[in-house]
Chain A
Amino acid sequence: MIDVKDVYFTYPNGVEALRGVSLQITDGEFVAIMGQNGAGKTTLVKHFNGLLKPTRGRVLVDDVDTRHVSVATLARKVGFVFQNPDHQLFSETVEDEISFALKNFGFDEKTIKERVNWALNILDLTRYRGTSPFMLSGGERKRVALASVLAWDPKILILDEPTIGQDRNQKERLRQFILQMNHQGKTVVIVTHDIEFVAECEPRVVLMANGKIVADGAARNVLTDPDLIAKSWLILPEITNVLLNLKDIGFPANVMDVYEARDLIIERIGWARK
């Protein structure tokens, strides 16, 4: 479990990025942390693996205070995939990149091979095994970064803006993949402002603005609340927006799904025809 207790964080340049954040994420949860650029989302999740330590307050990961353990120790449990893959890629080939951490964690050769193959396969990277990560496109590098973290099978997975640079198919793969990881009992935390992606995943949504949590609840409730969305400088899901414009003629304001919207509209037609 991740337990954030009244955390404040100020960067050395004086920017106060977190201003009293309390949050509990229990094992096996799927949480999306959302909010505008600069809201404090990345700063918050960097506390989950000890990359940042609170200026005030405490963060406990499975009851261990992150101030008292190294990032290397926490990393075994908390895998962090950065927003910008270039911040974590450095090896000459994709295969080396993915096996690097496994070697450091002391896995045997056979396990490393299996894990690397598994990670390459699940992220559709097998054909790039011997390619330099820097020859790949932005979206592909992003998947290499994800593969390198997945390979060591951390219990908690933190993905900072995982959908950036991903096309429709890859997003769908990513969604399936996250749901599968989550189903297998992993805690998954994504930081994102990809409203449509979150609308399709329907996780618990923690909404941040100005270093504070402004809402916490089911995606369907948080993302379809026009006041909350405006306050966090986001925009409503497209489908919500379509039906919200028709609220005056009796359509519900909390629909995010295309098929649900279709059914409601068609039902309405049937009702009108009677």
Chain B
Amino acid sequence: MAIIEARNLTYTYPYAESPAFKNVTLKIERGEFILLTGPSGCGKTTLCRCFNGLIPHFYGGKLEGEITVAGLRTTEHPIHEIAHHVGLVFQNPENQLFALTIEKDVAFGLENLGLPRDEMRRRVDWALKVTGIYDLKDRAPYEVSGGQQQRVAIASVLAMQPEVIVLDEPTSFLDPLSAKNILEVINRLNKELGITVVLVEHRLDLAAKYANRVIVMNDGQIILDGEPRKVFLENEAALIGVGIPKVIRLYMLLKRSGLNISGVPLSPEELSKSIMEALIFDRC
């Protein structure tokens, strides 16, 4: 059974004239790594807010259609119940950090779950370590840099070990190397622990290689949905506003110039390898 399933979902914010998204039908299976992208204001953040019940419980407004997450109809279950199953990491870490120390922030959600102390300790330490902020655990969240705050936000969600994590541009405040490290952490959670990941990201160059599926939204609707290499390759025009990773653009340019080059690359290494092979092949 799908872990997230939306049918003809349409949502309008209170006082808004038009829906933020309309008629979204979507099925996400357990264990998938979804890259959700689209131009600013396309409705992707709003859609994510439906996955953990923030919509409609917190934001109000008008939600039509049906959505179930981990078997729960989000309209019929309170946010704290949905939170056992779905963790949401916000775009702006300041919106979710509030405790006096980083460690307390990461432990907060677990305290609410009523876990035994040892288990809590273990999970908090683990979450702090995998996000690389263990040494900062006694500092206050507001004292550390934007990138470090984002790691705290991710750690507090990871500590809950939810079945689904939804991350709304989690790397936007991070430098590229930290972004890469965080994405690798998220990838490990997905591949090793089987946690379903919904990642909202503009940085397709860094994120594409981890995802098994890319969903592109535009103007409140899903316009593309499929395997990354396929989506990038076949829909150049539709993706202009999203930004095709540069390795794929170079790949397309080379193809168009008549170079016989194999495989759609998702990383510089893959493209270098194909170019090398094409050069050798061409010479024969």
Contact = CB atoms under 8 A, between A and B. Distances in A.
Contacts of A169: 39, 240-241
A262 B253 contact: yes
Contacts of B16: 135
A36 B175 contact: yes
Given A262-B257, A265-B275, A235 B246 contact: no
B175 A168 contact: no
B147 A37 contact: yes
Give the bracket for the number of chain B residues in contact with chain A. Answer: 35 or more
B100 interface: no
Interface in B95-114: none
Is chain B's interface secondary structure helix, strand, loop, or mixed overall?
helix
Interface in A233-274: 233-235, 237-239, 241-243, 245-246, 249, 258-259, 261-262, 265-266, 268-269, 272-273
A195 B176 contact: yes
Interface stretch (B80-88, B121-129, B191-199, B276-284): B276-284
Given A84-B146, A168-B243, A169-B240, A273 B268 contact: no
A269 B276 contact: no
A145 to B, nearest CB: 13
Contact of B146 (A35, A37, A195, A259): A37
A170 B40 contact: yes
Given A83-B146, A242-B247, A249 B276 contact: yes
Contacts of B41: 136-137, 139-140
Is chain A's interface secondary structure helix, strand, loop, or mixed overall?
helix
A266 B176 contact: no
B20 to A, nearest CB: 10
Contacts of B269: 241, 245
Contacts of A272: 279, 282-283
B207 to A, nearest CB: 13
B268 A38 contact: no
Contact of A138 (B91, B205, B275): B91
B237 interface: no
A246 B272 contact: yes
A87 B279 CA distance: 52
Interface stretch (A49-57, A104-112, A159-167): A159-167
Contact of A137 (B40, B275, B283): B40
Given A83-B146, A242-B268, A258-B253, A234 B40 contact: no
Contact of A196 (B13, B169, B246): B246
A6 B91 CA distance: 36
Nearest to B173: A164
A268 B279 contact: yes
A38 B279 CA distance: 43
B242 interface: yes
Interface in B210-266: 240-243, 245-247, 249-250, 253-254, 257, 259
B148 interface: yes
Interface string B23-62: 0000000000000001111000100000000000000000
A86 interface: yes
A184 interface: no
Contacts of B177: 36, 233-235
Complex A-B, nearest 6 residue pairs according to Cβ-Cβ distance, in ascending order: A168-B243, A37-B147, A139-B40, A245-B272, A241-B268, A193-B175
Given A38-B147, A164-B173, 4 more contacts: A165-B40, A170-B39, A242-B247, A258-B249
